Every structure is written in C-alpha cells, then in structure tokens.
Structure 1
Amino acid sequence: MERPLAWRPVTVIAVLLFGVLLALSPGYGYHRDELYFRVLSEHPGWGYVDQPSLTPMLARAGIAVFGDTVTGIRVLPALSIALLVVLVALIARELDGGTAAQVLAAAGTATGVYSLIAGHSLLTLSFDLPLWAAAILFLLRALLREQPRWWLAAGAVIGLATYNKHLIALLVLGLAAGLLIAGPRRLLASPWLWAGALLAVVLALPNLLYQVTNGWPQLSMAAALSEDKGAELRVLFVPMQLILFGPVVSVIGAFGFVRLWRDRRVRALAIAYPVAAALTLISGGRFDYTAGLILLLFAAGCVSAAKAARVRLAGGFLAANAVAGPLIALPLIPVAALAATPVPAINEVARESVGWPQFTTAVSGVRDALPPAERERAVVVTGSYGEHGALAKAGMPRVYSGHNQLWDYGPPPADATVAILVNIGPGGLALFDSCEERTRVDNGAGVENEEQGLPIHLCKGPKQPWSTMWPMWRHFS
C-alpha cells in the first residue's frame, strides 16, 4: 500500500525555505553567472556555446515578471529549490518512507549547503537539481510499481532537462549500466522503457540539432574546462562529495546506498551513483555533477533511519548540519567580516558575489576621465563574462568580451581606437600601440576573488582592425 504524503510538514519546510531565501536574496549582490545569464537572456536562442537555453530564459522570465533586480532574478531559483524539497520527500515516500522519513528528507535537503546555494542565486544548478529529482522519482515509480507508463514521464523530464544541462545523460548512462549489471534486465525489453527513451530524444532534438549545426560547441567547452581545471577537480571530487550537502547528508546517504543495493528492483539506481562518479572523474568534470544522485541516496537513507527507529539520532545530526549549512551558503555574515572567515574559500558563489559596484565604479572612473572625443570612440573589453555582465547591468555602452558566448556579440566597431581593457593578459595588451595601467579594483571588503586587485588598462591605437584580430580574443572557461 502506498504511503501517504506528509504534506503538512513538508509544505511548511518548503514554504519556510522559500521565505528565507527570498528575504536574504539581496545579500552580497549578483553572482557573476547571474550577470552573464542576464546578458544571454537578451539574446534568445536554442542554445549557447557553453550551455543550453533554459536558465538564461528563466532569468528573462524572472526579470520580466519580478523586475530587473537581484531579488527579481532570484525568485524562480528559490521556488525551484522549494519544489526540490517536496520532490525529495516524494522520493523517500516512493521508497516506502513514512512521515518521519519524508520530514527528515525534506529538512535535510532544505538545509543542505548546495541546496541553499542553488536557491539563493540563479545558477544552472538551481533548476538541474529539481529536474534530476523529478526524473529519479518517475524512474523509481517505473521500477517499483506495476505501472510502466512512468517511463514516459521520466523520458519527458529527461528530455526537458537537456535544455538546462546535458548532465542528465549521466543519470541515463548510470541507470543503463545498472540495469545491465544488476537488472532486472527484462526491463530492457520493455516497450514502455524504449518509448520513454524515444520521447526524451524527440524533446531534446532541437537542442541536439543546435549542437550539430554549430559544431558541438559544448564538447569544446567541456574540453576547455577539463584542460583548465580537470586535475584540480579530480583532487577535490571525493572530499566535495562528502560536503556538498553537508557531511551528515553524506553519512545518511551511505546507508541509503546500502538500502537501494539490497532491493533488487532499484539496485540499478544504486549502481548509477558510482558510474556517474567514475565518468565525472575520468572527464575531469565538476564535483557537483553527482548532486542529484546524492539526494536520492540521502532520501533512501532517511527511510532506513526511520525503519531502524533512529529518527531522533538522524534528526539531531541533521540539526547540527543545519547550523553550518546556512552560514556557509547564505549571506548571513556581514560583508565587511566575510574575508576573515573561511566562507569565501568554501563558497565560490559568495566569493564571486562581492564587489561588483566597486568594480563598475573603477571602470567608469577610467572611462569618465577620457576627453569627450576619446570617450565617444572608446570601448571596454573584459576577460570574464561576469565583468561584462556587471558593466552591462550598470548601463555602460560599448562593452565587449571574448569569453564564451559573448565573443559572438563582437567585434567592437571599427572606430574604436581607444580601449579600456579589464582582466586582459599581456597578449591582449600587445595588440595596441600603447597601454598603461590606470587603476586597480578594490572590492572594499578584502575578499580574494577574481576581481580583487585587478588592473584596468587604457590602451590606444589597435595595431590591426578589430574584425581581423577579434578571433584572437576568443577563449572558453
């Protein structure tokens, strides 16, 4: 018999989480990815060189409905993670978890570090987590119930998820490997499973066609990321698996792995986690690529805790987890004191959300100091999409960048004989007759991020036309 949904406590947790995230949304300011998505949202398309289109289009929707503010762009991420809380509780219920297991799963998810980060800022992760959770929920229903039509629901969500990230392929590959290794292999002959797979492909087809017709830019992007940080990410992979949602979630998740492994009906999903982890390590991918499967293991572990009458013990440890998680993930520490804490080293989102007003003021100061004739011909070229996005949000004209998708929106006009270069290395400076450093960025908080101490150069006399040298400015990271 199907367990009832503990809708009251789960709804309370989800609503409280949404309220907290919304209340704290202005803290520290925009993250660099949000500034980038804001720019991409002004260029609607089926895809971009570094990502599919869903997150930028949701940024566009958030701005249109809630306003072009830091809070406006963060309403949808907060709603998305509130939905994630409900979905993880439903996963626990699907695994035969009663009220206690569902509440543990909901509370642990709501207070996990990565959940809070994803709910606080608009990131691809913000929507990837609930998409994975929905796909896993429907896969569980297909595996556990005598209702194979759930393969169609899973296929529909997987197809939709490709418009946010292609990482949902890790879930598909992990499940396929699990079915081949541990079964039940008879499912591989199910017409419903293959109908779900076909539906996923059909829904993802426009996304795939964009990749084909544009030379598979995401493969180029993935290769660049692996070359740039692959070794570092491999070293960090195992420790980050333990702290993505907090160490308590990981420990409970280990019990969840055992629970899934012992149930032959869902053993394939237990195998999916090590398969996805291995593929991530081999490719040099980010450590959060397995986050969706960690939440599955955690939900299963909450069921084990409840059935073993360890609810109070698990709840106590999750309460401790809930103290550290928000301090790391949310803007609770005053920005003036942030640099004196370990938070900037742990939480990249917090680190890269500090100092944008000071950055734009520094660049504006260099531009405003130019004589009127030079100012009219000046352009600003940045090395990072966050810098480009911050200047665009501030209303600065004639801003360009060679970073990722932004390269396609260049080159600067031919009359641009004066260039303010931000985060551009010696190779870029050498393309001008003269360059001089005019100032350096100080974020005012002493937080060591990408912009802190960044030199701003004023360069004159490009040695070649912009249209000729623009290909040299392109870079992926």
Structure 2
Amino acid sequence: MSVTEAPAPVTTPAPRPRHRLARRPVGVVAALVATAHLAVAWRPGWFFDEALMLAIGRDHLDWGSADQPPVAPLLAGLMDLLAPGNVLVLRLPAIAATAASVVLAALIARELGGDRRAQTLTAIAQGTGLWLAIGGHWTTPYTLEPVLWLTLGWLLVRWWRVRDDRLLVAVGVVVGVGAQTKFQILLLAAVLLASVAVLGPRAMLRSRRLWVGAVLAAAIAAPTLVWQALHGWPQLRMGPVVASEAEFLYGGLSGVMLGMIAAAGVIGVPLGLYGLWRLVRDPHLAELRYLALTTVVLYAFFSVTLGRPYYLAGLYGLLAAVGAVGLQRRREAGHRRMSWVAWPATVIGAAAAIAMMPLSTVMAAPEVADTVAGATVHAYDALPAEQRARTGVMAESYIYAAYLDVAAPEDALPPALSSNRSYGWFPPPSDDVDAVLYLGSSADELRPWFADVRPVGAAGTDATVWLATGRLAPWESFWPTLRHLDVT
C-alpha cells in the first residue's frame, strides 16, 4: 500500500506589522488644510478651467468632451444644482478631495510601518505642497486627480504588506474611476505594470484578480473612451498643444522639470527625494522598487513631452511617506540629526504654503469674467429684438466662452459658442442663427463664412466684441473646419 504525500500548502508572506493610525494629529492636519482652503474658496470668481467645468456640467454634460472626462463637470453641475451660483459650494468636492489626500498619504506611511510621527510628517508634507496650496479648492480634474493616484498607491503598498489579492481588484476600480476624471491615470497604470514586469514582484502579475481589476477598469472607463473614439480622439491631440504652451507658461523644458519637483513644496521636496532614494537602495523595500522606476519614467516622459508641472502631484504623498518612514528608521537607529531638521522645516513649509494660497484668489479674480460678460450683454441688448432672436454668442477661446456661460446674468445671453477646446465639439447652432456676436481679439475665423464682420464694442483691453451677419453656408458644413484645441 502506497502513501501519497499531500502537497505543501501555498503560503504567503506574513503581514508586516504596522502602528495604529495617528487619528488625532493626521485629522488635525487634514482639518487645517480643509479650513485654509475654505477660507479662500468663498471669494467670488472662477479659475478659467473651473468655469469650463461648471459650463459643461450645467449645459453640455456627456460621457466626455474634447479635453475632459466627465467626473469634474458632473460634480460641478451637481454642486450648482444644490446651490446655483454659489462658488463655495461648487468647490466643496475639491476641498474634500484635497483633505482626503492628506489622510491617504498618512495611511501609506502607516502601511510602510510609519509611527505617529512619520504619519503626521507625511500628512504635513502632503498638505503643504505648493501646487495643492494654490489650486486645492478648484473643482477641476487636476485637483481631483491626486486623491485617486494616492488611493492607488495605498492599495499597492497595502497589497505589498498583506498580500490580499482582493486589493488588486480595487486597483482596477480606482483606475477606471480615475480615467473618468483625468486620462493620465491610464499612463500611470501602464507604467506601473511595465515596472512590475521589469523589477517585480511578478506574483502581482500572476494574480487573476489583477486582471479582473483590469477588466473592471476597462469597463468603467469605456464610456468616455468610446466618446473619444466617436469624436476622433481629440484628447490625443492635446499633447502637442500642452507642449506648445510650456515656453510661455513655464519657461520651457527647464521650467517644467523644476516645476514638477518644486510643486511638492518645501517639505515634500526633500522628503520625497529621500523617499525615492530609499526605494532604490533599501533592501527591505525591494518589492516596492517598481514605484521608484515608475516615478522616474513618468518624470522623464512628462519632461520630454513638456507636460504641466503638476502632472506628478499624485505621487508626492507616496514618496513623502517613504521618506518619513526612512527618517523614523534613522531615529530608531539612534541617528537623530535629521529629525531635528524635519520639524523646523514643517513650519517653513506650512508658512510657504499659506503664503501661496492668496495667489489662487488672484488667478480666479472675477474682474475678467465680469468685464467680458458685461460687454457682451451690453452689445447683445443693443441689437434690435428681431435680430437678437437670430443671433448667437461666440468666443475666440474656451476661456471667454466659459466666462460668458457662468458670469452673465441668467437668460441674458444664449448659450455660448466657441470653436476652441471642449466647446468646439459641442453641437453647432441651428440654421435659425444667422448672425453672431463674437468676443475675441480677432474675428478672422468667421470672415470666410459671413458677409459682414465688424466691431461693435470693447471688452477690456484684450478683447473686442464683433458682429458677424449674413451667414454664407449652413453651420453643419463649416463648423467642423473651425474646431481647434490651441488657445488663440
């Protein structure tokens, strides 16, 4: 009689120990960050991208638009339904996301073994990032994005600690929701997968639940991707547009490269760079080394392609968490010199972040929106009543168009038109509209299609109000030729 030995059970690494969540200090930091943003968010006025989100959410909500997935416009529209015209209520989702990112960064530090001090330091680093200080209360895709990237980072670090493959299904859900918010998360996911394939842990790639998560991500992202496909993938053409603006906005390649580092803030920069170094050198973090490779690859890609300086904002908290736990390890080993430096730096970092916050009120000042809306309303009201009924309102850029839609008094103007960015992919007007009031520096794009184009007013020093009459062709025939993504 033969005896068959039972196969050895498959084992997974024992979960690494972790400290209790530092609820009180982390909660205080998150509350202070939220309070600081609330203190400036009530000021009237919209940042121009915020105005675009509101205009889309009010009047053009769809599964996508030329350069925006639907989540930020959806949130803006919902907030406006709850409190029409209330800019503070409009900004509550962004403030909540910004405060949540502080907590998530601390949770990552906890998963890495961070104690109360490490978690708190990470929370402060995340909460005092310079880009976050400026725009952390604007309801825009790039303000909502960091909390999604940090959620993804927390799930991956937690999987490293406990090896629960159900977390990989959740990763897919976050990627799908992220794609409905801002498309860069798809690039992040692709680079993460490639980095894991190169450096490991390859057990992640062998998990069936990872691929279940990938299917879920595709299913959740599908509606906005289908919208892009049906409209010719305008989002793919945004890369050269963003690159063309880098010289003017940031000083070119050097400005983008430095900006992506500096945006992490006074505390986040040294802590994040130290965290990146630890990911590369610390043998205890060998299975997380793919996070360092992902960071470097994305930094190089966004630099070469001249992206925005805030494109890496979702990684700052993760790197700061690794750095803060590294300082904790040094402290536990008896090296306390860096700890003495860390806490005075938090005071400087917090002061720098607070000093940056008023800049947001300058960038979102209501004067420009009120000026262009007032001038356009005045010109529209001056038209004879029967001509007003046949006259549309159009703007040279999506910025002016969004300002007209959100700043003009209710029912004072018809919905704004523009050939620029998202507006260019909205439906053109009906052929009942045979004249256009046009707001911009030049109305040259209309001259081939209207018999007469002449100035009828001024909107500040940078824009003129033009009246174009005598339409020469149906809107459907020439509107697609006008569409463009550059801000002229």
Shift of 1:168: 0.9
Alignment match, 1:82: 99
1:324 and 2:342 matched: no
Aligned to 1:264: 286
Distance in 2 of aligned mates of 1:159 and 1:183? 23
1:461 equivalenced with 2:470 (yes/no): yes
In structure 2, what is the equivalent of residue 341 of structure 1? none
* CA shift for structure 1 position 66: 4.1
Distance in 2 separating the partners of 1:409 and 1:25:
30
**Contact 2:242–2:308 under 8 Å retained in 1:** no
CA distance in 1, matches of 2:367, 2:254: 27
Amino acid at match of 1:437: P
2:377 aligned residue: 364
Question: Is 1:8 equivalent to 2:24 in the alignment?
Answer: yes
**Shift of residue 254, structure 1, vs aligned partner:** 0.7
More displaced 10-residue stretch of structure 1: 69-78 or 213-222: 213-222
How far apart, CA to CA, are the structure 2 residues paired with 1:183 and 1:383? 50
User: 1:361 and 1:233 mapped to 2: Cα distance?
Assistant: 36
SS in 1 for 2:91: helix
| SS of aligned partner of 1:459 | strand
Alignment partner of 1:381 is 2:376: no
Q: For residue 79 of structure 1, give the secondary structure of its aligned residue in structure 2.
A: helix
Aligned-residue offset at 1:5: 0.6
Instruction: Choose from 104, 114, 117 the match for 2:131.
Output: 114
| Corresponding residue number in structure 1 for 2:4 | none
- Alignment correspondent of 1:290: 312
User: Which residue in the other structure is 1:278 paired with?
Assistant: 300
Q: Deviations over 1:261-282 (max 9, x none)?
A: 2220211111110111222234
Q: Distance in 2 between matches of 1:351 and 1:392?
A: 16
Deviations 1:419-474 (A, max 9, x none): 221126353252333333344333xxxxxxxxx52222233333434343322321
In structure 2, distance between residues paired with 1:317 and 1:111: 11
Q: Is the 8 A contact 1:233 1:285 kept in 2?
A: no
Aligned residues: 453
Structure 2, unpaired ranges of 5+: 1-16, 331-335
Of all paired residues, the percent bearing the same amino acid is: 29
Question: TM-score, normalization: structure 2?
Answer: 0.85
Q: Which residue of 1 aligns with 2:198?
A: 181
Using the size of structure 1 for normalisation, the TM-score is 0.87
Change over 3 Å in CA distance of 1:167–1:354 after alignment to 2:
farther
C-alpha distance after superposition, 1:36-59 (max 9, x if no partner): 112211333222221211111111
- SS of 1:265's equivalent in the other structure is helix
Measured in 2, the distance between the counterparts of 1:64 and 1:36 equals: 16
C-alpha separation in 2, matches of 1:167 and 1:3: 33
Q: Which has the larger radius of gyration?
A: 2
Distance 2:165 2:384 in 1: 71
CA root-mean-square deviation:
2.5
How many Å separate the matches in 2 of 1:80 and 1:68? 21
Is 1:24 matched with 2:44?
A: no
**After superposition, what is the alpha-carbon deviation per residue over 1:170-214, rounded to whole angstroms, capped at 9, x for unaligned?**
322332232233223343323333333333223323333333343
Equivalent residues in 2 for 1:314-463 (5 A)? 314-330=342-358, 350=363, 354-393=367-406, 394=408, 395=410, 396-398=412-414, 399-423=416-440, 425=442, 427-431=444-448, 432-442=450-460, 453-463=462-472
1:60 maps to amino acid: G
Q: Retained in 2: the 8 A contact 1:379–1:419?
A: yes
The alpha carbon displacement at 1:83 in A equals: 0.7
